Structure 1
Amino acid sequence: MKAMILAAGLGTRLRPLSLEIPKPVIPVLGRPLCGHAMAFLREHGAESFLLNLHHGPETVREKVTAWAAARFPVEFTHEKEILGTGGGIGNAREYLRGGTFMTANSDAVARFPLGDALARHRANGALATLVLFPDRRKRYTPVRVREDGRIAGFGNDAPAGSFEGFYTGYLIAEPELLDRIPRGRPSCIVRDTLAPLIASGTPIYAYMTEGTFLDFGTPEDYLRGTLALLAEREGGKGPRSFAHPRASIGNGATVGPDAVVEEGATVGDGATVRRAILWPGAVVPPGALVENGILTPRGFVPA
């Protein structure tokens, strides 16, 4: 099965961090952010990947290629003009043809029963299935779903459904969907492709589930999401800290709780890092304190 990671956004909400490193490849516990979604999809049957690029394409290509290495094949497309979620997927139609495929956003990390979602998609005979989570904070556009699991519509003006959730960006689809995406122009997969299909009665289903969903949209989200993954990694135990083997930690330095020191970062003698992320090339002077934010080679970003 093939998978596509949507990685062509500008990362505007993550600025100024995304001005240094494109959002899809900001470091998260020793791997690029998009690598977490790729590893999750790989665990559930994805054999190869394609990423669409726009902002910082060479940096994204270099970091993803270095991380993926011999794990699995990765291909890339470059969009001179951002094509949107629909246009990006449509632009990859020749790559994605051949069977059921999956897509995910590069800036979110999720854990849910994807194997069950795939089985349900096939049992329903769906053209496409969107993975939804409950939106208890009412942060996202609601997706309304009928009792039989088919999507009724998107947004507050959509027809009433038996339940609703938010779209995680995880899509399971059949290759016939690719021919329904408008060609030759930017488009939104929801507004310009799925919504008209739903209105025409095409079987577009929701898979409503729960689990972990971490949005890395802003610096605050980035710090919160990284620390959540750190806690998950340690099973709620341990020092709640991560120091890359190729980071430098000085004598008497304190790393944690809730601290991440990425590859190539330096913590000076006697320094303290807590509730913070240090990027590659970041330097904490001896005896200094870094907390509640992200330290990069260019400076400190509160979070």
Structure 2
Amino acid sequence: MKAMILAAGKGERMRPLTLHTPKPLIPLAGRPLIEYHLMALAAAGVTDVVINHAWLGEQIEDHLGDGSRYGLRIAYSPEGEPLETGGGIFKALPLLGDAPFLLINGDIWTDYDFSRLQAPLQGQAHLVLVNNPEHHGQGDFRLVGTQVVDGDGAAGTLTFSGISVLHPALFEGCKPGAFKLAPLLRQAMASGQVSGEHFAGHWVDVGTAARLAEAERLLGEHR
């Protein structure tokens, strides 16, 4: 299974750290954040990774290179203009092929074992959900058995972790340009095409300096 890491965001909430450094290269305990994903993917048996980028993206390419030092092959999908999550994935589909692929937000830290996602995909998407963090208390989606449905603020609503497996068929009918991923997922949920799981391990959305410090604390405990 190929993997894609989303790394095109500007990281405005992390300024001034991201004024001259793209957020995926912000150090976490002395190592660029994105490297934790690359090492975990290699450990899970993934060999091919696609990374999209926009803001200061040349720094990402210069630092990571072809991926060989991580035991990976890295291809890049540069974006001249912000395409949002859905548009960025759609642009990268020619690099990802026709099979389901693993998708990871580049600005999270987690100890999730990506090898758990190597099982055959049933439907168009499989989402990893986590307990709602303080900054996102209402969550996103609910689990009904193994199926994911829209949360609608109901009890038991969980937060989408930014870790998923997607089938390229999810993007059928889409056109190049900027668009979000969430409406496509909700459309697939309505037809029972989205499965999911609840992960209760370490996970941090590293969107602010305070959350970066929280990730460093948890990483220290994990080690």
Query: TM-score, normalization: structure 1?
Result: 0.67
What corresponds to 2:146 in structure 1? 149
% identical equivalent positions: 26
What corresponds to 1:168 in structure 2? 161
Taking only aligned residues, the RMSD between alpha carbons, in angstroms, comes to 2.2
CA distance in 2, matches of 1:18, 1:138: 21
Quote the offset at 1:66 in angstroms.
7.8
What corresponds to 1:185 in structure 2? 177
Aligned 8 A contact 1:24 1:33 in 2: yes
What corresponds to 2:201 in structure 1? 211
What corresponds to 1:14 in structure 2? 14
Aligned 8 A contact 1:102 1:171 in 2: yes
Structure whose residues are more often helix by fraction:
2
Match of 2:185 among 169, 194, 207: 194
Quote the offset at 1:126 in angstroms.
2.4
- For residues 48 and 8 of structure 1, do their structure 2 counterparts lie closer, same or farther at Cα, with a shift above 3 Å needed? same
Structure 2: segments with no counterpart, 5+ residues: none
CA distance in 2, matches of 1:174, 1:223: 34
Structure 1: segments with no counterpart, 5+ residues: 234-303
The reply to whether residue 98 of structure 1 matches residue 102 of structure 2 is no
Give the secondary structure class of the aligned counterpart of 2:207: coil
CA distance in 1, matches of 2:171, 2:151: 20
CA distance in 2, matches of 1:133, 1:189: 18
Give CA-to-partner distance per residue, 1:80-121, whole Å, 9 cap, x none.
1111110111111111123221010111111234433443x6
Aligned 8 A contact 1:93 1:178 in 2: no
User: Which of structures 1 and 2 has the larger relative contact order (alpha carbons within 8 angstroms, sep 6+)?
Assistant: 2
What corresponds to 2:218 in structure 1? 228
What corresponds to 2:116 in structure 1? 116
Matches within 5 A, 1:233-244: 233=223
CA distance in 2, matches of 1:177, 1:232: 35
Query: TM-score, normalization: structure 2?
Result: 0.89
Aligned length: 223
Quote the offset at 1:68 in angstroms.
5.2
Give the secondary structure class of the aligned counterpart of 1:221: helix
Which is higher, the Rg of structure 1 or of structure 2?
1
Runs (4+) of structure 1 exceeding 4 A deviation are none
CA distance in 1, matches of 2:143, 2:108: 26
The reply to whether residue 130 of structure 1 matches residue 121 of structure 2 is no
Give the secondary structure class of the aligned counterpart of 2:200: coil
Give CA-to-partner distance per residue, 1:209-255, whole Å, 9 cap, x none.
2111022211121222123213322xxxxxxxxxxxxxxxxxxxxxx
Give CA-to-partner distance per residue, 1:240-281, whole Å, 9 cap, x none.
xxxxxxxxxxxxxxxxxxxxxxxxxxxxxxxxxxxxxxxxxx
Give CA-to-partner distance per residue, 1:192-225, whole Å, 9 cap, x none.
x1112223x1411121121110222111212221
